[in-house]
Amino acid sequence: MSAPSSMRFRRFGVTALIVLVGTPALLALYVNSSPVNKTLIYRNKSLKTWVFASRTSFFLEPTRKAAQEAIDALGTNAFPFLLAELKGSRGNGPSTGSGYLLG
């Protein structure tokens, strides 16, 4: 009676280990395999153009609203671009080292 019980416990332990190690590994592979050089287009302009095209007038309300409208329209598809800019950009223009190239 104890042999099948310990075997069942061992099987459960191995299954739990596979799930605990495998799930994060698969999630990491999925996140890292997403296309990095995907150009996001909204109204025939790339997201990079919406955000960085008017470097001198970005703080004017119409420019900010237009950029926000583009980001809102693209929804969660804009997240990789925005995250890459937050990680890589250290100035007031498009980053060159973020690894996310648009347009």
CA 103/CA 95 separation, integer angstroms? 13
Tell me what the mean pLDDT of segment 34-47 comes to: 75
Q: Are residues 46 and 81 in the same domain?
A: yes
Q: What pLDDT does residue 63 have?
A: 79
Q: What pLDDT does residue 39 have?
A: 77
3-state DSSP assignment of residue 3? helix
pLDDT band at 60 (very low <50, low <70, confident <90, very high): confident
Examine the pLDDT at 1 and tell me if it is beyond 80.
no
Identity of residue 62 = P
**What's the total number of domains in the chain?**
2
> Quick check: is 73 in a domain?
yes
> Quick check: is 52 in a domain?
yes
Q: What is the mean pLDDT of the chain?
A: 75
Q: What is the 3-state secondary structure (H, E, C) of 40-86?
A: CEECCEEHHHHHHCCCCCCCCHHHHHHHHHHHHHHHHHHHHHHHHHH
Work out the percent of the chain whose per-residue pLDDT is above 70.
Answer: 71
- Domain range for residue 12? 1-33
> Quick check: is 8 in a domain?
yes
- pLDDT of 4-24, one tens digit each? 778 888 888 889 888 888 888
Q: Cβ contacts of residue 85 below 8 Å, gap of 6+?
A: 51, 94, 95, 98, 100
> Quick check: is 96 in a domain?
no
Q: What pLDDT does residue 100 have?
A: 45
